[in-house]
Amino acid sequence: MIKYLVIGDPIGHSRSPGMQNAAFAACGLGRPYGIKKVTAEELPDFFEFARKNYFGVNITVPHKIRAAELADSLTERAGECGSVNTLIISENSILGDSTDGVGLEMALKYCFNSTLEGKKILFCGAGGAARATAVHLAGCGVTEISFINRTIEKAQELSDLCCKKNPALVSEVIVPADDVLGRVAVGRADFLIQATSLGLKESDPMPLNASWLEKGMKVKIFDTIYHPTKLQKYAEELSLSWANGKEMLVQQGAESFRLWTKIVPPLEVMREGFDKGDDLQ
Ligand code: NAP
């Protein structure tokens, strides 16, 4: 019986059922994780249904911000970023949490075999994913988090939120058209986090000025998108260190699994589940 699921709109592409069911099955808990398209209009009714029928829900695009308003209560980290990707339901009560931040933190450490202590981070994007992850990283010992984003007000708001979390943080907002500042920012960064939706479609342009990336740079590129993109291809051509968003999805899902089951998540099984998909969908 389905007791956990992922919702979003669109949702057909989600790798969460394959990954989560692999973890549940490996722990002898069957395959209780489903998938459902829920539109923005349907979201309040879905919350009422979920309250009585599920133990846990993952929330994806475009509902993470609205979910933070609809949950009965929020964890501290979800409240800080105003985004919810995990519902923990018990005794008719819905607790909203955000595991995207810890997902990116663990992914950076795993993919690049690196610590975050003292590192300089540059985000491309200031939407929901950037919001949930940047505020978390601000509390992970990094010294700088800067933002390049099309809508400058959103980048400034997020920069302010990160500095509120960590008053010692250095944070700059860079206009995409500023060739000088953009080039300097990429040159300074230890990690470039690609958190825009540019790359989801094959026809999308690069999310930043390609000429800012050069062979031999120290910057490690993490593209939150988990299928091949122009940025990933270009980073490979320049022999730069890069990773796609698979490990972030696995790690945020593993944290949801841990919250629901209180079991240490079987990470390798979840990585394999991500690759294989879920035949039972
Ligand atoms: P979102 O809230 O809609 O934000 C989209 C971001 O992309 C904003 O910064 C937006 O800039 C920018 N953008 C969109 N179209 C653009 C364009 N034509 N030109 C320039 N910038 C543009 O979406 P989200 O939830 O943050 O998701 C962003 C990405 O994160 C997606 O690619 C998603 O796949 C990925 N993600 C991955 C994981 C994972 O586990 N791997 C988890 C969550 C999200 P404006 O602010 O100017 O609109």
Query: Which residue shows structure tokens 């985004």?
Result: 83
Give the residue from 263, 274, 105, 264 showing the smallest Cα distance to 193: 105
Handedness of CA 201, 149, 193, 137 (dihedral sign): negative
Q: In what order do the strands lie in the sheet with 144-148?
A: 173-174, 144-148, 120-124, 191-194, 220-223, 242-243
Question: What sign does the CA torsion over 191, 238, 223, 275 have?
Answer: negative
Q: How many Cα atoms within 13 Å fall on the side-chain side of residue 157?
A: 14
64 has catalytic annotation: yes
- The residues near 30 (Cβ < 8 Å, ≥ 6 apart) are 24
Q: Average the pLDDT over 245-249 and give the result.
A: 97
CA distance linking residue 225 with residue 127, whole number of Å: 14
| Ligand 1 touching residue 83 (CB < 6 A) | no
| Mean pLDDT confidence for 183-206 | 96
Q: pLDDT tens-digit profile of 78-120?
A: 999 999 999 999 999 999 999 999 999 999 999 999 999 999 9
Q: Which residue has the tokens 């690609």?
A: 194
Is the minimum distance from the CB of 273 to ligand 1 under 6 angstroms?
A: no
Q: What percent of the chain clears pLDDT 90, i.e. is strictly above it?
A: 96
- Predicted confidence band at 277 (pLDDT cuts at 50, 70, 90)? confident
Query: What is the pLDDT averaged over residues 180-208?
Result: 96
Q: Is the CB of 252 under 6 A from ligand 1?
A: yes
Extract the tokens encoding 200. Answer: 């989801």
Averaged pLDDT for residues 44-73: 97
> What is the C-alpha to C-alpha distance for residues 70 and 68, in angstroms, rounded to an integer?
6
Q: Are 130 and 121 in contact (CB under 8 A)?
A: no
- Looking at residue 279, its pLDDT comes to 58
pLDDT band at 12 (very low <50, low <70, confident <90, very high): confident
Amino acid at 226: Y
Q: Given the residues 36, 37, 52, 64, select the one marked as catalytic.
A: 64
